[in-house]
Structures are given as C-alpha cells and as structure tokens.
Structure 1
Amino acid sequence: MNTDDTPHTLPVASAREVRSQARRIAVRHRGPLLGALALHTLAAASGLVAPRLLGNLIEQVSRGTAEVTHAVVLILVFVVAQVILLAAAVYASARLGETVLAELREEFVDNVLALPLAVVERAGTGDLVNRTTRDVDMLSRAVRQAVPDTLFAGTTIVLTVGALILVDPLLALPCLVAVPVLWAATRWYLRRARDGYLRQSASYARITDGLTETADGARTVEALRVAHRRTARADADIAESYRAERYTLYLRSVFLPISDVGYVLPVAATLVLGGVFYLNGHVTLAAVTTATLYVQQVIVPVDVLLYWLNELQIGGASLARTLGVHGAAPARASLPVPAAGGGGRVGLDGVNFAYREGHDVLCDVTLRVEPGERLAVVGPSGAGKSTLGRLVAGIQPPTSGTVTIDDAALTDLPLDDLRRRVALVTQEHYVFAGTLRENLVMAKPSATDDELEKILKALDAWDWAAERGLDAAVGAGGAALSPAEAQQLALARLALADPQVVVLDEATSLLAPKAARHVERSLAAVLEGRTVIAIAHRLHTAHDADRIVVLEDGRVVESGSHDELVRAGGAYAALWRSWHG
C-alpha cells in the first residue's frame, strides 16, 4: 500500500502538444470540418438578413412607403432557411464530434494498454482511473457540445461584425467599447485557467488513489492500526481538492461577471451614439435600427462563446491528461521476432535493481537460462526472488546491467513483442466479465473447444468447467469462481498463449499442496520446450526443476540441480531440511 504523500503521476501533455493534436485532428477530418463550417456560415448569414430587412422596413414606414407584406414574407423565408441550415449544421458537427471522440477514446485505450505495468504501479491506480473516467467524460462533453457550439458562435460573431461594418462603419465604432474589457478579462482568465484545471483534475486523482488504497488494504489498515493516518490522508486530499475547486471557482467568478458587462455595453453604446449620429444626419434610421439589432443579436453567440470557453479549458486540461498517457510509455525499438517454436534464451548480465535509490534488491546478478530449461529460483523471504521474476518479465527495467531474451535487451523490444515472448503468472488472477470460453480464448482467439478441453483437462480444471459449461457467464454479473478455479483459469490462458518464456511466481499457491504439485507437473508437460522460470516458495517446485538458483540478499549464492545442492550442504540444503521439518 502506498504511504508516500507525493506519489508519481502519469505525465500531462504540454499546451503545444494539445494544439498539435488539435491540428492533426483538423487535417485528418478536413472535409467534414469544412462542410460543418460552411453550414454554420450559411445559417449565420441567413440570420443576418432579417435585421436588415426590418431596419429597411422601419425606414420605409417612417417615409410612408412600406411594403409590409413583402418584407414579412422575406423575413419568414430567411428565418425558416436559418432553422433548416442550423439543424443541418448541428447534425454535421455532432457527427464529426462523435467520430473524433471515438478516435480519441480508441487512441487513449491503446495508450493505456501500452503502459508498462511498472509505470501504472508507480503512478497509482487513482490517477489512471481518474483519466479513464472523469477526464474522458469531460473530453466527451467538450467534443460533443463545446466545440460545435463554439464553432457556430464564433462564425456568427465574425459574420455579424462584418455585416455591421457593411451597414455603416460609424455604427461599428460603439462595439469597440467592449474590446478592452473582454480582451483584458479573457487574457487574465486564460493565463490561469489551464494550470487551475490541471490541478483540479490531479486532486480528484489523488482522492481516488487514496480511497482505493484504503478500501483495498482495509484489513492491513485495521491490523496495523493506522486508520488515523489513512483518515488524515483522505482529509488532506479533500482539502487540496477543495482549494483547487475554490481557485477555479474564483476564476469563473471574476471572469464571467466582467464578460457579461462587457458584451452588454455595445448595445447601450450603439443606441446612444447611433441616435446622436442620426440626429446629425450621419446615418439613416434604417442603419441605426439594423446595427442595434445586430449588436443585440450578437449577444447570444458571445454569451455562448464565453460559457463554453470555460468548458473548453476543462476539456483542454482533460485532453492534456489523456494525451499524457502516451508519453508515459518508453519508446522501444522494433526488432524482429524469432519464430514462436524456437528461442527463449534468457540472460541477466551484471543486473542491479533498486526500488529506492541506495537500497539494492538485486546485486550483480549474472545468469543464463537455456531454451527449454526449467529453472527454479529459491531463497528466504525478501531475497529478491519476485523482483527477479519481474525483471525477466520486463515489468521493471534493471537499474544497471541488462536482461535479454535471445540476445535482445528487453528494454529494446516493442511491448507487443515482449508480451508475446514472455508471460508472468502470479497468485493474483483476474476473471473478466463474460463467458468461460471468452476468458480462455482471449489468449488464443483461434482456439477450438477441443483445444480448450485438452488444456483444462491437463490442468485438472475440466470437471468444474464442464459442469458450468464453456458458455457460462463468469466474473462480474456471472458465476463467481473460487480462488483456485481462477488460478487454474489463468494457467489455462497461459498454456493457450504459448509464450517462449514463462515466469511463474506463486502461480499455484492457492491450490492444495498435493493438487499444486500435480498441476505444476501437468503445466510443465503442456509447456514442454518453453523456458520456465519458477519462483519457488514451495520446494517441491524446485525439486522438479532442471536447475536451481539460490538467492540471498539479492545475490546468487548457489546454482545446480536439487541433488547437487543437497549434497553441497549449503544454503539450499538448509532450506530443504527446514522445509521438511
């Protein structure tokens, strides 16, 4: 359980990277984007006709030459046209938004699956869960609503201001009174908003992480009587979230009222100055009426733009956090993959590893495991056995030295290739929601029912699997498997995946000792020809291995067969005598 008050978090993409991603999306969907923009432009242009016609009508009425029926018909025609065009524009924008959102979600899932397990463990589950849930939801809201509405509002504002200038440049001058106010308020807000919303999202992640740890480790918390520390951690996390929320609320409380005043000022200024200009004969009554209607009409899109500006900042922060997941995975070279039937030589050369600087768990480990060899790693608790298994599985890179498979450094292998070559099975197993068959064939989609039956029989799991049926629902919402059954399911998946190198760390610990030994021998037969490194907590596992390596204090102190090491009377012989009482 993580008790560090300053846990590592996954990276966050820079503002430049977010803009670059937005440009790539725009280029990739150039056609639909231009189509939606064209529809928004036509809809906004249609909405500019009615104020102009109404202004002319008032001018004509004042002169006694008005053709009211003709003007009303034209106004109705353009209003209907605007409604139709706006509906089409909204549909086009929504379709584009859903397409972009689907791509972003798929890219995010791909990036999450590409994360090395060590990165996830170091960051904590809270940060990743928060990005997967809240940040994706916020991004969804931005893409589905904020972007289309902002697109329409921005287009309407630009066209309306252009039309206002065409009516009479003099009447465009009153609008300038809002520019300094809106510019200053927006600049002040944008300089602070991104960091504020990133801090707010990070505070949610920390709360999630802390509560998850406390819930998962509830028994440990109770046994060690550290509930007060976990409560203090939760209180501190909530307090930090409160401060972050209060800061963004402060930004909105300053920005939005000033903006509201800013876009109301042009209406009053246009009426006052327009009246003065009309009385002095500089503009016509139609121009004053049209300009006032345009200024009044532009308030709504400006209001929409200012409203969604806040949501866009939240969405931008969420996009930065989802994009940041990609930066958490180290770059790997693309190396050729040997055929599945050959290879599997594992090498460790001068390997050192420390979870914390200055506290080595493994020290100068040099080891060779030949293809098809079954190696058992034994030693007292804390000797570094599981850490060695994690390094061989590529979960952790060594602090120094190299870990190789077929002379290729694991850190250089593409992640897909690494996972195809090496598999780690521990006592922690996950049963996915779905059928028993689906839980099995995820390791080999082409597997037939006969193959599944053969593997399950080899692992003594066919009786309970056949009783339930391969189409039985298991996992969340389905039948619950016992820990031993879940462990057998994981071993069956391993056999179906057929990796070159298998690392077993307490893989049969949930089975009874006699059953565990039988399953291990069956698994060895199924994995014949594969390199197997077994972290042996039960020494009968070591007894059955081709070779045994003994670790003490992170160092290899003995290596040989069971009989050789027992005759040598060293560390392994002492463990064997102790295990046999």
Structure 2
Amino acid sequence: MLDLVGRDRRAVLVVLVLHGAAAIAGLAAPWLLGTIVDQVAAGAGVATVDRLAAAIGGCVLVQALLSRYAQYAGHRFGERAVARLREEFIRTTLGLPVGVVERAGSGDLATRSSVDVSTAGTTVRDVVPTIVIASAQLTLLFGAIFLLHPMLGLVALAGLPPIWAASRWYLRRASAAYLAEGAATAELTETLTTTAEGARTVEALRLTDDRIVHGTERIARVWATRRATLALRTVFYTVVEASYPLPIAAVLLVGGFFMSKGLVSLGEVVAAALYLQQAIEPLDRILQWTEQAQRGFASFARVLGVGQVPPEPPGKASAPPGERLVVRGARFSYTDGHDVLHGIDLEVRPGERLAIVGPSGAGKSTLARLLAGIDAPRQGVVSIGGCPVTDLDPAERRRRIALVTQEHHVFIGSVRDNLSFAAPDASDEQMRAALVAVGADWYAELPHGLDTELGDGARQLGAADAQQLALARLVLADPHTLILDEATAALDPTTARRTERALAAVLTGRTVIAIAHRLNTAHDADRVAVMENGRITELGSHDELIRADGAYASLWRSWHS
C-alpha cells in the first residue's frame, strides 16, 4: 500500500495540505464563538458581535472550499491508485504458472480481482486519507483545548481510555475474522460459479440436491463469519459511542469549578466544549473507517498474496527445432502420496501423429499437461531435444507446444480480437483461412465478418462453435507440437471427423498428440499408446495392436459393436 501511495507523492502532499488547511480553518469558529461570549459578558456592543460573527462565517466558508477541493484531489489520487492496483493484479496473475491458476479456482480469482481489489481500492482512496486527516484534526483540536487551559486539556482526555481499550480489543481480533470472511466469500463464489458453468452436467447426473446442499453449507459458513465480524463491531461501537459524552460533561463540570475560582472564563469553557463536540466527527470517522480498514487490509493481503506465488520462471534454455519429445520415468501426483502416473516412458518422433487412448481416469489428460509443460513430473523428466520442457522459456514453450482441451473460452470482443490472441500480426485473409480450415461454416453467417462482436450482450457462440474458434487460433499459432485433449468433444461425430481431417492437412509435418475417446482418431494415427491406471500398457500402430489382441483390440471391438 505504501508503494501505491509513494508513486504519487505530489498528489498525496496536495491532499494533506488542503485537508490540513481546512482543519486549521475549522479551529477558528469555536474560539471566535467563545470570544463572543466573553465580549458579551464584558458589555461589548452589537457591532463587535457582528464582526466576530462575520469572521465565523468567513472561516466556515473557507473550510468548506478547502474541504471540497481536498476531497476532489483525494478521489482523483485514489482512482489512479486503484487503477494501478488492478493492472498489477492482472499482470501478476497472468505471470503465474497455469497450474497454480487452475488450482486457485475461478471463484477465488474472481473474488480477489473484483471484491478484494475494490475493497482495497476503497481503503487506498478513502480510508487511509480519512484516518490520517482525522488524526491530524484531532491533534489540532485537543492542542487548541490545551492552549485554552492545560487543565481543561487534561480533562478533555477523559473519554480516550475506554475508546483505546475497545479499539485494542477489536483490532486484535478483527484481522483474522475478516480474512476468514473473505475466504468464505471466495468459497461461495467458487461454488456458485462452478455450479452455473456445469449446470448441464449437474442436471444430467441429477446432482441438483447435492449442489444445493453444498451451496447451503457455503452460505452457512459466510453467514457464520459475518456474524463473527458483526459481533466484534457491536461491542466496539457500543463502547465507543458511550464514550463520546464523557469528556464534554467533564469539561463543563470541571470548567464550571475553575470559572468559579477565576481560573478560566466562560468563553474558554464554551470554546473547549465546542472543540470537544467538533472532535466527535473526526473521531467517529476514524473509528468507523477502522472497521473498513480491517476489511481493506484483509482484502489487500489477499490481492498481494497472488504476488507471493513465484511467477513462471523465465526459462534456462531453448530447444532445437524438430527434436524428439521424450518422457523418461515420469511420475506425477496432485496430492502427496497418490501418484496418478507411474513411471511413464514414451518417445514421440518429430512429425509423428500419436493417439493416446484408455478408460476415463487412466491419466491421459495428466500426461498431456506434462507434455505441454504445464506441470512438472514429481520424478523423471519430460524433455524436447534433450532440454526439460519446464526449463524452456515460457514464451518459447507456448510457441512450440500448444495444448488444446475441450474447455474453450470466448473472449468479449470481436472475432478478430479472439483470433489475434494467437497471432497478433495475422492478416484478415489468414484469419479467414484458419476458420475455413477448421470447418467453421457459421463464420459465413456473421453479419459483420471478423468485426462481429462476441460474448455477453452480443453474439453467443455455442460449445461447438467455440471449439472451432479455439482450433482456428491453433492454426494461426502454428506450433511445432500440438496436443489435442478431446479438443473436438463438443462437435458432433461427423463435424468432428471433418475438422480432424482438415487439421491434419493444415498441420502436415507437425507433431500431433491426440487424447482420444473416438477411436477413429487412433485409427488415423501413426502410433497408438494405450493407458491404464497411470501406465502405458500398449504402444504401436493400429494394425499392430489389433493383431496383438490386447486392451486396444478390445476397445476397438467395443467401439464398433
């Protein structure tokens, strides 16, 4: 947070000077009112009172103008700081390893990038300046009381001990409570997001009741954490509000005694009481914003927590083109002690088409992630041209090895915007050719061609169209090695077959590794690897494996039965 503030020191200085000047202007009115009381008691005329009253009005006007421009400057500074915070969060998130982002979950990242960034932004824009400025105002106000009379100043401090005790009690508990509330909110967002995204699966598997129970549990946790923070605020605010009248009553009582002894004048007692009344507003702002500050610092910790994850390393080497992709003794586990791959050995020749088949849960997609360098094996190595894939520079690795899954995202923007992610310098002709190559017939029906807007509030693409758009991006990216993990699963069999053949023609000479449930893909491949229980149990051409009459032959017969 100090870094955000420090980048705009001039704006911060302007805000502090304006608010400081406004606070000083605000000190004049109680003192002038006390002076009026003393002048009237001494028999002063109406002209004197009028002059002092006009001075009060002038001071109030000056204070209002200074406060207005201080708030304006403060909000401009705050919005710039929030914009920088959002940009840095996105930049940091995009620099994280893909596996880390996936494990975090879309709900957690959505909460951090929206709710937490917004809350942290409010803290930078409003909370911190308010607390700093209000603290300065309180210092000036109590200093003014001490200048009226030191004893009145000491009496004015009577309400601070209970406020200090309540604040200390609150602050020791609030940080953990608000972090727990933020985590619970993120879990609820994750639950709602995944349920909405998988609505068809939930309905097909009749999991509606289970998801309702799951969501209800998350709502209960959010409710419990919010009750905990509410309980803290209830105690805190009750003690604080009860402490406000104490110093005013004490100053009036003790001031009356001092006045009877001739130690202070009536005007000084009135001024002191007005200063204390005026101090309630900045003190109230500090205490109210203290609660918001706890939320803000908790949110700030969650936003900065993304930056604590080591970014994807820049890479130590580059692989020569055309070299083999080799897996030796690869073991991998998502949780400790539970390997899902058990000593995988595999060589993929340059330009080869390899199909990986097997039952669900055999480890096919996990192996694809290792081949693409998204995850590193727990033991063993995955290398290309003798260089570990995870040691490649991330940018080069993405250019050389592309992983396309059945989960595709359509970005809000035009068709051209969606395609240019893969090849920013691609011409319109190249983009159209890529769409044609993957059989995206729907492109011809778009009202504005490549300029047609996609996403919310514009044209919505179905799952099959979105997959073809992703495959067109792949054609434009033109990687050396292509890994297709059920990349045509959303297409009907006829369209999928046509798309696969079109891709094969376009990607001639490229290494293609296809995770396949449709065995037609395996039939067309140069070699087929059969995976069972995290191991490769068979490897050979389609004809060789049929003659071997093993697991693949059984799958082939089941496919055609």
TM-score > 0.5 by shorter chain? yes
State whether residues 264 and 299 of structure 1, in contact with CA within 8 Å, keep that contact through their aligned partners in structure 2.
no
Q: Does 1:178 pair with 2:159?
A: yes
- CA deviations over 1:541-570 (Å, ceiling 9, x no partner): 234334433323222233344455455555
Aligned residues: 557
> Which of 507, 511, 528 pairs up with 2:487?
507
1:83 aligns with 2:61: no
Q: For residues 421-480 of structure 1, what are the alpha-carbon distances to aligned partners after superposition, in whole Å with 9 as ceiling and x for unaligned?
A: 43221222222333222222222222211111221222222x431331222233322233
What residue is the counterpart of 1:464 in the other structure? 442
Give, in whole Å, the separation in 1 of the partners of 2:421 and 2:201: 34
Contact conserved, 2:141 with 2:279, CA < 8 A, in 1?
yes
Q: In structure 2, the residue corresponding to 1:480 is in which secondary structure?
A: coil
Q: Distance in 2 between matches of 1:536 and 1:146?
A: 55
Query: 2:393 and 2:251 mapped to 1: Cα distance?
Result: 64
**In 1, Cα distance between the equivalents of 2:20 and 2:114?**
35
Cα distance in 2 for partners of 1:34, 1:254 equals: 36
Structure 2: unaligned runs, 5 residues or longer? none
2:429 is equivalent to residue 487 of structure 1? no
The match for 1:335 is: 315
Q: Give me the identity figure in percent.
A: 50
Change (3 A) 1:228 1:510: closer
| Structure 2 residue aligned with 1:557 | 537
Between the aligned partners of 1:482 and 1:522, the Cα distance in structure 2 is 21
**Given the superposition, is the C-alpha separation of residues 226 and 380 from structure 1 closer, same or farther in structure 2, using an over 3 Å criterion?**
closer
Q: How does 1:106-117 map to 2 (within 5 A)?
A: 106-117=87-98
Structure 1 equivalent of residue 146 of structure 2: 165
Corresponding residue for residue 184 of structure 2:
203
Distance 2:481 2:93 in 1: 24
Matches within 5 A, 1:169-568: 169-218=150-199, 220-221=201-202, 226-327=207-308, 329-335=309-315, 338=318, 342=321, 345-412=324-391, 415-416=394-395, 418-461=397-440, 463-468=441-446, 469-566=449-546, 568=548
- C-alpha spacing 1:91/1:482, structure 2 compared with 1 (3 Å): closer
Alpha-carbon deviations, 1:333-373, whole Å to 9, x = none?
3226749x936643322111233444432110122334444
**Residue 549 of structure 1 contacts residue 560 of structure 1 at CA under 8 Å; is this kept in 2?**
yes
Distance apart, 1:215 and its partner CA: 4.1
The residue matched to 2:344 in structure 1 has which SS?
strand
- Determine which of 41, 46, 55 is the counterpart of 1:74: 55
Give the letter aligned to residue 367 of structure 1: L
Within-5 A mapping of 1:150-161: 150-161=131-142
SS at match of 1:402: strand
Q: 1:18 matched to which residue of 2?
A: none
Q: What is the rounded CA distance, in whole Å, between the counterparts of 1:221 and 1:516 in structure 2?
A: 25
Decide whether the 8 Å contact of 2:5 with 2:81 is kept in 1: no
C-alpha deviations, 1:479-535, integer Å up to 9, x for none? 333433222111001112233432101112333445433422332343344432211
1:85 Cα shift?
A: 1.2
Q: CA deviation at 1:73?
A: 3.1
Give the residue type in structure 2 aligned to 1:320: A
AA partner of residue 175 (structure 1) = A
Write the letter of the residue equivalent to 2:254.
L
Aligned to 2:83: 102
Taking only aligned residues, the RMSD between alpha carbons, in angstroms, comes to 2.7
Aligned CA distance change for structure 1 residues 233 and 378 (closer, same or farther; 3 Å): closer
1:274-306, Cα deviation, whole Å (9 max, x unpaired): 222222222333432322221111111111111
Unpaired runs of 5+ residues, structure 1, are 1-21
> Does the Cα contact within 8 Å between 2:318 and 2:393 map onto a contact in 1?
no
CA distance in 1, matches of 2:201, 2:169: 48
Q: 2:6 aligns with which of 24, 27, 36?
A: 27
Over 3 Å counting, the alpha-carbon distance change for 1:93 and 1:408 in structure 2 is farther
SS of residue paired to 1:36: helix
How has the CA–CA distance of structure 1 residues 391 and 267 changed in structure 2, closer, same or farther, with 3 Å as cutoff?
same
How far residue 571 of structure 1 moved from its aligned partner, in angstroms, is 4.2
Residue 226 of structure 1: how far off its partner (Å): 5.0
- 2:338 and 2:35 mapped to 1: Cα distance? 84
Residue type of the alignment partner of 2:537: V
- Structure 1 residue 223 displacement after superposition: 5.4
The 1:565–1:193 alpha-carbon spacing in structure 2 relative to 1, beyond 3 Å, is same
Would you say the 8 A contact 2:131–2:289 is kept in 1?
Answer: yes
TM-score where L is the length of structure 2: 0.90
> Which deviates further from its counterpart, 360-369 or 65-74?
65-74
